[in-house]
Amino acid sequence: MQITAPGKVPHRGALPQIMLVMRLVAILMLATCLQVSARGYTQGRVNLTLKNAPLETALKAIMKQSGYYYWGDPALLKRAKPVNVALRDAEVRAALDECFRDQPLTYEIEDRIVVVKEVVASSASIVPNAEPLSEVRGRVMDEKGEPLVGASVVVKGTKIGTVTDSKGNFELSNVSNGAVLVLSYTGYLSREIVLRGGGQDMVIRLIVSNSPLDEVEVIAYGTTTQRFTTGNISEVKGEDIARQPVGNPLLALEGRVPGLFITQNTGVPGGGVTVRIQGQNSIQRGNDPLYVIDGIPYNSQIPSTGLGNNILGNSGNYSTGNIQINGVGNPLSYINPLDIASIEVLKDADATAIYGSRAANGAILITTKKGVAGSMKVDFNLQQGFGKVTRSMKMMNTRQYLDMRYEALKNDGINLSAQSKTNANYYDLLFWDTTRYTNWAKTLIGNTAQYTNVNGSVSGGTNTIQYFLDGTYHRETTVFPGDFSDQKASLHLNISGASSKQKFHFQLTGSYLYDDNQLPQTDLTNIAMLLEPDAPPLYNSDGSINWAQTATGNSSFDHNPMAKLYNTYRNDAGNLMSNLLLVYRLLPGLDVQSNIGYTNMHSKEFTASPLVAIQPEYRTNIPRSANYGASDIYTWIVEPQIHYVKKILKGKLESLLGATIQQNGSNGYSIEGVGYNSDNVLENIQDATALSATSVFQSEYKYGAVFGRINYDWQDKYIINLNGRRDGSSRFGENNQFHEFGSVGAGWIFSREKFIQNDLPFLSFGKLRASYGTTGNDQIGDYAFMNLYSAVYASVPYQGAVGLAPTGLANPYLEWEETQKASLGGDFGILRDRLLLNVTFERNRSSNELLNYALPNITGFGTITKNFPATVQNTSWELNLNSTNVNVKGFTWTTGLNLTIPRNKLISFPNLSTSTYAKSLVIGQPVNIQHELHFLGVNPATGLYIAADSHGNPTSTPNYSTDRTVTVSTFPKFYGGLQNSLQFKGFQLDFIFQFTKQRAYAYKFGNGYKYPGQFFRSQSNQPVSVLNPWQKPGDNASIQRYSTKLTGLVAASSDAVYADASYIRLRNLSLSYQFPDKWVQKGRFRYFRMYMQGQNLWTITHYQGMDPENQGNSALPPLQIWTLGIQLGL
């Protein structure tokens, strides 16, 4: 088979306006699709005159004039009659009708491809008593000649059918002469063949479907397509990830997946990223999704040694025993984004229940790149760019700051002239140069970060073995002063092969990434915002750190940011991932396989506190110090499986039976050393005169399970999917170590019903799907059910022995948190799938919540972990709309819109009013609520903030225990993204807008640390939002009078401190140009492409803070990044 075209076949390879914009976009997309579809068969008029010409000649002429393409077997075309036509200004379909008049062939148009095929005999022409053929035998292959295993072969209108074997072969008996064979395979266009007296040794080729509905999606322990799935699954392709200059692949998912909410917690390379799928299910325990890379579970958190927390941030809380702690950084930053072929996000029970206790919070499946049969290909990708901080709070300048301070002293009756210059409370007014002004944000976080990425790959293979090898070097610097950077080098290898008879298959995947992350210990963002504008210079004239010492020898500039930069942090990490898949076909349709995997993530950390960073007056008492940390996390897993596919009646049965044996281990420590004789030897632990262990952790987790799945597809119309799993986990006591989980999903492809096809011809695809099931959550840490002890050290241990002290009480009755998931959705294709719409309603109810139960002091412990009969509900409406707006010769424009409307609330908690959670949780409210005062403004008479007490009366001295009557939640109200892709000849433009409607803590009453008028070194500057305060009785102001005292707590503890933090952000833009083949071939290249990429480019928001995504002012916001690059293939 071949596709012929006039030229080469194209390579396929906060705001109130948000809702209005979304409506307008949806209307415009639909209108554009309708318009383009309506004119799709009228544009490209054909003028053609031929006499006794071959049909193939006529088709080529029509294709050249219309921009269409045609597909047909050359042998089939030779059977056509000569063509005699005289066409003038004819439509494409009319021209084709003339050419195919009285021909033994016919055609169909599939997405601008004219498919030529034999005329299908009508049902009336099939004679029931016709002489049967002795045997019908053939082979089903793809366009490249590869066998299609498990393809469906059915005799139309009968119950006779089969599926192809491992070589693509099939056999049928008792088939009437003139019968029609219907051949179909997932991801390919179906084909019908009329049997005319032969039926022996046929070779039938199927072509790949262009519809997104038929693209292969990875699911748990298998694959499917959007057309036939009964679950709620979203996919992001590798090419979409590659268009984004990010170091963590999770950041490439922002704004692209409905139901997935991602927060970049810091702009520092390797920093924390929080991921939530369909909201927060657990009140106190882990809410991370399950990550699976090439079938192997991957850690969602990196246990902290305590050394890198201040700079790398965290990725949300996780549990260890009875303690909730923050991991450091994010483990996905050790995955090379360019190694990824696709990422699937699994959300509902149908998609996740087969993972059992590990997928209550959804699952993210990452599939890495693999080799493809063909000649060897060598590819290079070189990328260079820069990053900047583009959003910052507007802080006071020196004049505004001094006026605030002077007014505060006046209001408090303090005579500044009576104060000493060495009084630390007035350094900023009496000792420092009040004529100085420094824009600290520009000085400390206003530098330019450099971004470099170099990648090379080799791939190819034969029909029996394929390979893929690539290596990447990645480097990012920071916007802080100094030479800080994060450097990564990675290697990825995939080898897959099969025996000559295709009975045995194997696939070996391995990757290793080394990361050298050298950063300061402290993020300078906070001090850049809050440092006083008249603070002294950073350095003395001789280049040393300026401590601005007073006459008494005290350092007035003791928080000099340059001193913090000498306190360095270094993390050398390595991440190994390996996976071996072995498959053997015992019988046609029956495969046995085993997936064997091992991962290891290890790191060495180092922090230095040299003498140069210590204030001179303290150097005799505070010695140099250094901390050394190390951690090692490993996972090994074996999953034997049996897969069986068989044609039963008019449907196809697929079944899976498997088991999981898994073990995770982690250990780590940190050691502090002191007494070094030089700053230059801090990295050498042997130079310390004294060492002490500051933290140690070690744990082991064992997990075993059996699982199964049954999927039955009746005539590609009715689908049912059953999943089941029984889990055993070492995280629970012997009374509750095992639990069962399962789901049922069903789908009805109603567009295959004749009455739909007749009455709704514009509906090219329609499916209703529903699922219900249970999943669990075992993210409680290890050993929570046991009695725990820790070592007690003493300077003079009794009899030289180390003592033990209990740190946790046993609870062998701990049970799994369980989430019941219900889903109802519809998938629709309109106008030959030009418009694809997915609508889903999800309801997740998480019960048996694991919480800390308060204990009386006489027990010696504050709490014990216990299951509570509380139920948390998360509901969400998810919409995903994709359209092909324009698809004409040389130009394509597609659009994607996704929207999620989530709601979280506590729906049940028996005896809540008498529990210790009565003041933090409320039935019917989200689980993250904050209880706050109701703000009433500024008292015009006194100039103080006032709030309503529990009876609604105004007061400036509320009772903070009883008067917090208002609840505030910062969960998003809705979020989503709008993406567009435009291609014109060699040019391609892609961009995506992300939007979120939410509230957050705003800095309109102060900087969040000190109140306006107060002074504490490096924390006193204020945002300009506090200008124009109350000054005299009768003033109507929104800011109370300035004061040096603690007087702003009323506003800071009220509902008014939360404000709109909604935003629309141009998350990514990519513009590329691929040079024409005729130019590239002169340079002996396969292709040559130049591109420009940008990330976090433009933000619309009213948020009163640095950045509406990570919020606050203590962490670096996401950087705006621009890069230029080239790609070439040899």
β pairing state of 363-368 and 290-293:
parallel
Q: Is the pLDDT assigned to residue 104 strictly greater than 90?
A: no
Given a contact cutoff of 8 angstroms between Cβ atoms, the answer to whether 160 and 181 are in contact is no
Q: Flag the least confident range among 345-359, 669-683, 738-752, 806-820.
A: 806-820
| 703 pLDDT higher than 90 | yes
Neighbours of 857 (CB within 10 A): 7
Give the confidence band of 14 by pLDDT, cuts at 50, 70, 90: very low
Rounded to the nearest integer, the mean pLDDT of the chain is: 88
The 3-state DSSP class for residue 759 equals helix
Region 713-724: what's the mean pLDDT? 94
Confidence (pLDDT) at 36: 39
User: Residue 876 above 80 pLDDT?
Assistant: yes
Question: DSSP characters for 3-14?
Answer: EE-SSPPPP---
Mean pLDDT is lowest, of 60-69, 295-304, 589-598, 1066-1075, for 60-69
Average pLDDT over residues 14-36: 43
Helices 92-99 and 55-66: crossing angle in degrees, nearest 10, is 180
In the predicted structure, residue 548 carries a pLDDT above the cut 80: yes
pLDDT of residue 1077: 84
CA distance 1079 to 1084: 9
Rg (CA), the chain: 34
Predicted TM-score (pTM) of the model is 0.85
Q: Is the pLDDT of residue 209 over 80?
A: no
Rounded CA separation 1127/453 (Å): 12
Task: Check if the beta carbon of residue 265 is closer than 8 Å to that of residue 1110.
Answer: yes
Most confident of 10-19, 172-181, 1047-1056: 1047-1056
**What would the mean pLDDT of 493-506 be, rounded to a whole number?**
91
What pLDDT sits at residue 803? 85
User: Of 885, 974, 1013, 962, nearest to 37 (Cα)?
Assistant: 885
Of the ranges 371-380, 511-520, 809-818, the best mean pLDDT one: 511-520
Rounded alpha-carbon distances, angstroms, from residue 489 to 247, 272, 324, 470, 472: 12, 20, 33, 11, 6
Mode of pairing for the β-strands spanning 974-984 and 849-854: unpaired
The better pLDDT of the pair 110, 784 is held by 784
CATH of domain 217-378: 2.170.130.10
Q: Which of 490-494, 775-779, 940-944, 979-983 has the lowest mean pLDDT?
A: 775-779
The mean pLDDT of 316-325, rounded to a whole number, is: 51
User: pLDDT band at residue 132, thresholds of 50, 70 and 90?
Assistant: low
pLDDT digits (tens, 9 = 90+) for 817-863: 999 999 999 999 998 889 999 999 999 999 999 998 999 888 888 88
Quick one: pLDDT at residue 688?
94
Q: Does domain 1-13+42-119 bear CATH number 3.30.230.10?
A: no
Give the residue among 1033, 1025, 975 at the shortest CA–CA distance from 1004: 1025
The fraction of the chain above a pLDDT of 90, given in percent, is 65
Mean pLDDT for the stretch of residues 711-732: 94
Q: Is the pLDDT of residue 955 over 90?
A: yes
Please give the pLDDT value at position 199.
Answer: 62
Q: Residue 625: left (phi > 0), alpha (psi -120 to 50), or beta? A: beta
The per-residue pLDDT for range 1041-1073, each reduced to its tens digit, is 999 998 889 999 999 999 999 999 999 999 999
Comparing 1-13+42-119 with 217-378, is the CATH topology the same? Answer: no
What is the dihedral sign for C-alpha 528, 530, 533, 539? negative
Please check the confidence at residue 890 and state whether its pLDDT lies above 60. yes
In this prediction, residue 129 carries a pLDDT of 42
Q: What is the mean pLDDT of residues 178-184?
A: 83
What gap in Å lies between CA 1064 and CA 1099, rounded to an integer?
6
Q: How far apart are CA 147 and CA 75, in angstroms?
A: 20
Least confident of 267-281, 582-596, 1075-1089: 1075-1089
DSSP characters over 483-544: S-EEEEEEEEEEEEEE-TTS-EEEEEEEEEEEEEEEEESS-THHHHHHS-TTPPPSB-TTSS
| pLDDT category of residue 215 using cuts at 50, 70 and 90 | confident
For the chain, give every domain's residue range: 1-13+42-119, 217-378, 985-1002+1061-1130
Query: How does residue 200 score in pLDDT terms, banded at 50, 70 and 90?
Result: low
At residue 170, the pLDDT reads 87
The stretch 46-58 carries a mean pLDDT of 86
